Chains A and B, each alone.
Chain A
Amino acid sequence: MDLATIVTALDLKVCCGADKLNRKVTGGFTGDLLSDVMAHSGEGDLWITRQIHQNIIAVASLKDHAGIVLVQGSEPARDTLEKAVTEGIPILVSDRPGFETAGMIYDILKVRGG
């Protein structure tokens, strides 16, 4: 499953990384505590969070996430966006709450395969 399919299915706003939507998404991870995400998420995960702080980019980069989905229509902070561009991490925005965003992505990954 590539990022582009998920972006289209959920009508996500692409804040940066439009050139990286061919990336493969192998799983999903929801979490707002960076230490938790560091410890338990995996490579290729699409990370769903409410945190907009620039530290999320370092985490996504270290863990080789496919991208970050900010929920509830949260916009990334300016330095977060700058860092994301530098590190090449796609940032997507969902207007839906985290539960629904996760539910829909889970559905896509399960039904159509990872």
Chain B
Amino acid sequence: MTLREVKDILDAEVLVGQEQMDKDVRTAFGADLMSDVLAFAKAGSLLLTGLTNPQVVRTSDVLDIAAIILVRGKKPSPETLTLAEELKIPILTTKYILFETAGRLYQRGIVGCMERVDEERARP
């Protein structure tokens, strides 16, 4: 699914990364605990969160997250937007709560991810 389709499904507004709407996404991770995201989210996933501080962008950068979806109509601080532009990480904001955001994407075929890096390591 492209980011553009994600945007349509969630009736979302694109705050950063308008030029990256053709990016392909298949997995998502929803959480408000950054250490949780760091431990489990897969590279290339969507990050659904209620957090809006710059650390969300940093965490996404560390993990190569495809895009950040802010839930419940949250708007990030100017610092967060600047950092996302600098690191080229798309940010979308949707009016839906995290539960509904996950539900709508799940219904359309996006799957969850819970991949530990040490599992990746075990693969040939």
Instruction: Find out whether A and B make contact in their complex, taking CB atoms under 8 A apart as touching.
Output: yes
Interface residues of A (CB under 8 A from B): 27-33, 36, 40, 48, 50-51, 72, 96-107, 110
Which of B29, B51, B103, B113 counts the most chain A CB atoms within 10 A? B103
Least Cβ–Cβ distance between A59 and chain B, in angstroms:
14
Main secondary structure of the interface of B (DSSP, over half): mixed
> Are A96's CB and B99's CB within 8 A?
no
How far, in angstroms, from A36 to B98 measured CA to CA in the complex?
A: 11
> Are B106's CB and A30's CB within 8 A?
no
Binds A, one of B4-12, B30-38, B55-63, B85-93: B30-38
**Is residue B100 within 8 Å, beta carbon to beta carbon, of the partner chain?**
yes
- Other-chain contact of A103, B31, B33, B72, B112 (Cβ < 8 Å): B112
Chain B residues whose C-beta falls within 8 Å of the C-beta of A72 in the assembled complex: 36, 40, 114
With A30-B30, A33-B32, A40-B72 as contacts: A102 and B114 at CB distance below 8 Å: no
A-B contact pairs, 11 of them (CB 8 A): A27-B99, A31-B50, A50-B33, A72-B36, A97-B113, A99-B102, A99-B105, A99-B106, A99-B112, A100-B111, A106-B104
Given A106-B99, A106-B107, A107-B103: 16 more A-B contacts, CB < 8 Å = A28-B99, A28-B100, A28-B103, A29-B99, A30-B97, A30-B102, A31-B50, A50-B31, A50-B33, A96-B114, A97-B40, A102-B30, A102-B98, A103-B112, A104-B106, A107-B107
**Is residue B28 within 8 Å, beta carbon to beta carbon, of the partner chain?**
yes
